[in-house]
Amino acid sequence: MLIICTTCDDGRGQALLEAVENEALARDLPLPIRGQACMAACRQSCTAALQGAGKHSYLFGQLAPDADSVAALLDVAAQHAEPGDGLLAWARRPERLKSGLLARLPPLG
Amino acid sequence: MLIICTTCDDGRGQALLEAVENEALARDLPLPIRGQACMAACRQSCTAALQGAGKHSYLFGQLAPDADSVAALLDVAAQHAEPGDGLLAWARRPERLKSGLLARLPPLG
């Protein structure tokens, strides 16, 4: 599940959500995507989270509603959705997301 | 569930975990507490997270292994464990945690 903050940065978060949704549709990706009002990392906006049952959660910041961020988010969301605990391998991390990681929380115990 | 980063800040995270565990024991609090190696917010160390099934997750940073942080973490952990979705009311937030909130993620949908 890819969650994008819709209140980030005066409309840019909402724009990022829409761009990601459109690109997922264009690529016919079966990826669940939703918006969320505020994930409390406003100074690092735009922000997006990855979550899933039994998986680590990630929060990325310093994103923008542009093609680079959209492609990178769809890439890591697909990696996170693979079977397993959702840990993202550094070697497979899109260049755009090699900085801006704000938090990684363990699976619910 | 209160989760404290054990790798934060060269031993201070581990010290915070032990201080919180000792204080919870002293107060006879039935609160689940555990350590976690790295929650990826190293520049905001020490860090601690609140998680629970069906609840919002919180990540707090800028903590220290001192009495103020310990008391504040036990307070919010008790609030977070109350029935409901785990949203923490601002009015009940311990003063020590009115800054340093790094992330708030929604419940797993």
**A6 close contact with B: CB closer than 8 A:** no
Please give chain A's pLDDT, 109 residues, in tens: 999 999 999 999 999 999 999 999 999 999 999 999 999 999 999 999 999 999 999 999 999 999 999 999 999 999 999 999 999 999 999 999 999 999 999 999 7
Under DSSP, is residue A57 helix (H, G, I), strand (E, B) or coil? strand
Give B21-53 pLDDT, tens digit per residue.
999 999 999 999 999 999 999 999 999 999 999
- DSSP lists the bridge partners of residue B63 as none
ipTM of the complex, rounded to two decimals: 0.94
Q: Tokens 């693979």 belong to which residue?
A: A82
Asked if A104 and B38 come within 8 Å (Cβ–Cβ), the reply is yes
Q: Count structural domains, chain B.
A: 1
Cα(A2)–Cα(A77) distance, integer angstroms: 6
- Say yes or no: A26 contacts chain B, CB-CB below 8 A: no
Partner-chain contact A105 B57, CB within 8 Å:
yes
Nearest to B97 by CA among B65, B54, B41, B59: B59
CATH code, domain carrying A23: 3.40.30
**pLDDT tens-digit series, residues B44-87:** 999 999 999 999 999 999 999 999 999 999 999 999 999 999 99
Determine how β-strand A101-105 pairs with β-strand B101-105: unpaired
The domain containing residue B98 runs over which residues?
2-105
Residues of chain A with Cβ-Cβ distance to B76 below 8 Å are: none
Q: How far is B26 from chain A (nearest CA, A)?
A: 24
Is residue B96 predicted with pLDDT exceeding 90?
yes
Least CB–CB distance from A59: residue in B36, B103, B108: B103
Looking at beta carbons, which residues of chain A come within 8 Å of B102? 40-41, 102-103
Cβ-based neighbour number of residue A60 at 10 Å = 25
The angle subtended at Cα B97 by Cα B86 and Cα B94, nearest 5°, is: 80
Contact residues, chain B, for A52 at CB < 8 Å: 108
The whole-angstrom distance between A80's CA and the closest CA on chain B is: 14
Burial class (CB in 10 A: 0-12, 13-18, 19+), A61: buried
CA–CA min distance A47, chain B (Å) = 10
Q: Measured between CB atoms, which of B34, B51, B53 is closest to A105?
A: B51
